[in-house]
Amino acid sequence: MNNIYKKYDLSDAVINLVNDASDELSETYKEYEKNKEINQIKVIHAMQKNNLAASDFYFATGYGYGDIGRDKIEEIFKDIFNAEDALVRTSIVSGTHAIYIMLASVLNYGDEFIYVTGAPYDTIQKSIGLVGDLSDSLMKKGIMYSQVELKGATIDFEALEAKISKNTRAIVVQRSIGYEFRKAINLHAIKDDMLKFKDKHPDIVIMYDNCYGEFTDSIEPTDIGADIIAGSLLKNLGAGISLGGGYLVGRKDLIELAADRLYAPGLGKELGLSYGTLRTTLQGLYMSPRVVCEALKTQSLFSYVFKKLGFDCTPEFDEHKSDIVCAIKFKDPDILIKFCKSIQKAACVDSFLTPEPWDMPGYENKIIMASGSFIDGSSIEISADGPIREPYIAYFQGSMSLEQGKLGLMIALQDLVDAGKISL
Ligand SMILES: *Cc1c(COP(=O)(O)O)cnc(C)c1O
């Protein structure tokens, strides 16, 4: 077993540490295997229920009115998410785009929306108007923003209730941790409160940023009362196979609004070409439960090992999972940068490149990003990133195979040992 890793410059101590740690997590891994099975059957069943046919892979031209496969993918997403309708498009370029469509399609002048999981993900902040000075941000257009901080690991429903006004039109839950050192939102834990909230405020739209959350659990936000959710096909559901795109799933009236926002009022979701991406989108969806399972195992392994080495990590290796991100608090910019460089070396694509911190569009601080991926920027593939700001936290995610995750961890540990930053 150890011999194969000798292809890399790794000490026995590093190889053994990672192999042993992975063996010690076998019970934890079993939980993810069970979850994989549930989600895999969901996917297969939805494809069968909708009579997915070989002919669905052909695609239309022009306006795309007859893009049957595109419509079928949306039916399949709808069923998987237990929702009324879905919008799954390659013309949605990223998670940020999908989330912006969700916000901008529902919210109008004078409406207020409340983020109930603290500050939103960095790239959405500009669109909202919290940073920067864009003349077409939501806030510049007369939409009011407000925020409720998390209470420990969960949503503070009391504080939320106190914030509700006659203008409140929507609340937003960000399921995954973003660039914060916190817990992902456990859907089981908020279910009862969320359903009570929905009962009490039927006119308030419950939205989720579902990025990195898909298939990490047996349920999705739409199973606990979400009206509309948004996410990216460059993450969990793309499985490193989808060429790109984003999705929204939820109430029929809201999906119609979202399609009108994506295209033009009145056009709706009847048109929009899929440009021959249908097969890869479906293959990505099919592989997703399995790939997410590998990412969850890798997440636990990183958390387990770095905690052993004395670094604060979230989530804990054996905690309930609701996203695929492992945040490691390095408290040292050198370690953060070194760590990302090491992860890059474990990629299949661009393993010979060295990431450096840079000013990425949409982000306030310099960001370092390790991402050597088959699909450019796809972060279900082994990747790590972090803003260069205190306390220098690395956000590690993905790996489509545990084996590659282990390799990445070994390389990172060896590089940190060699630099005198850790000792085993
Ligand atoms: C990745 C991510 C986004 C944004 O997705 P992009 O595809 O990078 O635009 C938004 N929210 C969360 C929580 C994310 O993890």
Strand partners, 383: 371, 397
| 151 Cβ contact partners less than 8 Å away, ≥ 6 residues apart | 159
Q: Are 343 and 382 in contact (CB under 8 A)?
A: yes
Residue of the CA atom closest to atom 14 of ligand 1 = 211
Confidence of residue 364 (pLDDT cuts 50, 70, 90): confident
Q: Spell out the residues 6+ positions from residue 4 whose beta carbon is closer than 8 angstroms to its own.
A: none
Question: 230: which strand partners?
Answer: 209, 248
| Region at 362 (left for phi over 0; alpha for psi -120 to 50; beta for the rest) | left
Could you report the per-residue pLDDT of 84-133, keeping only the tens digit for each? 999 999 999 999 999 999 999 999 999 999 999 999 998 899 999 999 88
Given a cut of 70, is residue 142 above it in pLDDT?
A: yes
The predicted structure's pLDDT at residue 3: 84
How sure is the predictor about 59, in pLDDT bands with cuts at 50, 70 and 90?
A: confident
Percentage with pLDDT > 90 across the chain: 95
Ligand 1 interacting residues, C-beta cut-off 6 A: 94-96, 99, 121, 123, 174, 176, 178, 209, 211-212, 232, 234
Q: Rounded mean pLDDT of the chain?
A: 96
Whether pLDDT at 362 is above 70: no
Ligand 1 centroid to residue 417 C-alpha, Å: 32
Lowest mean pLDDT among 38-47, 54-63, 78-87, 337-346: 54-63
pTM over the 0.95 mark: yes
How confident is the model over 233-256, as a mean pLDDT? 98
Q: Tens of pLDDT along 217-233?
A: 999 999 999 999 999 99
232 Cα–ligand 1 center, Å: 7
pLDDT classification of 321: cutoffs 50, 70, 90: very high
Atom of ligand 1 nearest to the CA of 96: 9
Question: In the prediction, which pLDDT does 363 show?
Answer: 72
Confidence of residue 360 (pLDDT cuts 50, 70, 90): confident
Task: Using the mean position of ligand 1's atoms as its centre, give its distance from the Cα of residue 362 in Å.
Answer: 11
Give the pLDDT score at 361. Answer: 76
Average pLDDT of 354-368?
Answer: 87
Q: State mean pLDDT over 75-80.
A: 98
According to the model, what pLDDT value does residue 1 have? Answer: 66
Out of 181, 214, 229, 232, give the residue to mutate to test ligand 1, the one with the largest number of ligand atoms within 8 Å of its CB. Answer: 232
Could you read off the pLDDT of 167-202 as tens digits, one per residue? 999 999 999 999 999 999 999 999 999 999 999 999
Calculate mean pLDDT across residues 303-311.
98
96 alpha carbon – ligand 1 mean position (Å): 6
Is the pLDDT confidence value at 215 over 70?
yes
Average pLDDT estimate for 236-259: 98
Q: Which atom of ligand 1 is nearest to the CA of 121?
A: 11
Q: How far is the CA of 55 from the centre of ligand 1 (A)?
A: 33
* % of the chain with per-residue pLDDT over 70: 100
| Residue 119: predicted pLDDT | 96
172 Cα: distance to centroid of ligand 1 (angstroms):
14
Q: CA–CA separation, 180 vs 174, rounded Å?
A: 11
Tokens representing residue 70 in the block: 């595109």
